[in-house]
Amino acid sequence: MNTRSFYKIYIALFCICCAIIIAGCAQEKKAKKQDPEKSKAIKEWNKTIPGNFSAEQNRFLDSLEIDSFITKYPLFQSYAAAIREFYDGRKLAYAWYADNRLIEQAGNLSDRVRNLQNEGISKETPYRNILDSLLYAKATGTPDVKLELMLTANYFVFAKLAWEGMDPAISKSSQWYLPRKKMSYAAYLDSLISTPKKASNSAAPVYRQYDLLKQHLSHYRDLQKEDPSWTPITSTTKSYKPGDSAAPIAAVKKRLFKLGDFKGDTLNYFYDRALETAMKQFQSRHGLPADGVIGKGTLNEMNVPLTRRIRQILVNMERSRWLPVHIDSVYLGVNIPEFKLHVYQSDSLLWSCNVVVGQSVHRTVIFSGDMKYVVFSPYWNVPESIVRNEIIPSMKRNPGYIKSHKMEITGYNGRIPTVRQKPGPQNSLGLVKFLFPNSYNIYLHDSPAKSLFNESSRAFSHGCIRVGEPFKLAAFLLQNYDNWDEQKIKNSMNRGVEQYVTLRHKIPVFIAYFTAFTDRKNLLNFRKDIYSRDEALAKMLIED
């Protein structure tokens, strides 16, 4: 049934209702109860009233016009289903017009499409010149179906590029096994148009880091225009500390001023207290020991070319497109290059602690799971690869190796022994582990090697994640459980008998990989690409 036939039915039903009402009033003015047939007719007619429309409710498309538009502009073919879904949800009502004028959101969309580089996108939407010319010609006057559909098509292209990101095959090729977000961009557009004030104040349908990184992208691009050479700062002295005076210190001040860390006098050569504060902030933002000493490592980070920093921001904006927009619950997040565990309640950061992650040859996998168990005084079931590559050679060198390391052989898989380490302070998992069952055999756990948590770079494990504050995490997870007070948790950790506690509610755990991110003070942070994942993605992103 086409739209014109629909309208004829609407008019017929409306006339029937009016006739019923008029006839009823004329023949039986005293009757107080409605005629059942009349009520049914009105009810059926009301069902045809569009529900979530903008002010422009009296203009409708013909579905054939959508088909013709897609045929004429074939580069929108991959978005055809989304376009039809959007207009089906609106009963084919126009979206971008009110009172025969384009609504404000049309101009907003056009501006964002025209400035895709601000979104970290290096390509253009299809037929942008046609959109611009249509907007210029039809700012006022009778609604234009071509402009209506061109705006909608460009919205879906923009949503794909700026909010959804590259094809899932790309993220998988980057060994990113976190689930990609799923959402209806058609529903978001309908909300954007129907409730403009509410939509304009709400965040874009993308993980919060995206917009934060976008702000810093603009700043770094401005820096690159102002200082394209970004001349490296050199020094013949091993390091500088507060109280020193030298020409390179002035250069350091100027650089930190440009980066936003330093606010003082950039002309003098004296290492003063203001510079020390700025230096510690810079070091903290780059994952360095925040000791205020200007050494080789600190200068190396200052001298990283702006083009490389911009690429880092672009890559991590893309990763932000892949994540869920919002999680309305308690969850744990591990950022591998940051060597940090973060505990969240929705978007509120509750606390953080240091972690140790996998070495470059034993990479921690980027994935998610649901934490289900807290295990006190755990056994360590040694993976077969570690038994083969490390324990068997050690047993050959030292026949007493198994006993001295509190291990035991529980069986054999062919000629490979099945080995586990007994609970206790020597156990490689420490005194507690946190399980979220997964096919990668990765979990969080304590560690007897406490000194490693004080290192600035903490990639030492075989893939699992060692937690710097295991007692605090156990207490947090069991805080609302009867009989699990702090003393009982401490006793269970040191009892030497393995004990499983099943969590009543599973806790989502996200293990991610961000080498550029903003912290809670909105300071831009950079971390080393310890698994060399950035450059391959940058090439695909920029070349694409």
Cα gap 384→295, rounded to integer Å: 43
Residue 174 CB neighbour total at 10 angstroms: 20
Please choose, from the candidates 466, 464, 500, the residue with its C-alpha nearest in 3D space to the C-alpha of residue 385: 464
Cα separation values, 206 from 108, 257, 518, 523, Å = 18, 31, 15, 20
Cα gap 498→455, rounded to integer Å: 30
For 42-74, the DSSP string reads: HHHHHTTS-SS--S--S-B--HHHHHHHHHHSG
Cα gap 405→424, rounded to integer Å: 11
Cα dihedral across residues 186, 187, 192, 193: positive or negative: positive
The catalytic residue among 17, 353, 445, 462 is: 445
Q: How many CA atoms does the CB half-sphere of 266 hold within 13 Å?
A: 14
Helix/strand/coil percentages in the chain, nearest 5: 45, 15, 35
Instruction: Find tokens 């997964």 and name the residue.
Output: 438
Contacts of 292 (CB under 8 A, 6+ apart): 241, 242, 276, 279, 280, 283
Cα gap 335→340, rounded to integer Å: 6
Contacts of 135 (CB under 8 A, 6+ apart): 102, 106, 107, 110, 147
Residue 451 CB neighbour total at 10 angstroms: 7
Pair 525, 338: CB distance under 8 Å: yes
Cα separation values, 376 from 166, 380, 429, Å = 42, 12, 10
- Whole-angstrom distance between the N-terminal and C-terminal Cα of the chain? 42
Q: Report the alpha-carbon angle 443-449-450, nearest 5.
A: 95
Beta bridge partners of 417: 412
**Catalytic annotation on 464?**
yes
Please choose, from the candidates 492, 500, 498, 375, the residue with its C-alpha nearest in 3D space to the C-alpha of residue 445: 375
The catalytic residue among 216, 286, 405, 464 is: 464
Catalytic residues: 445, 464
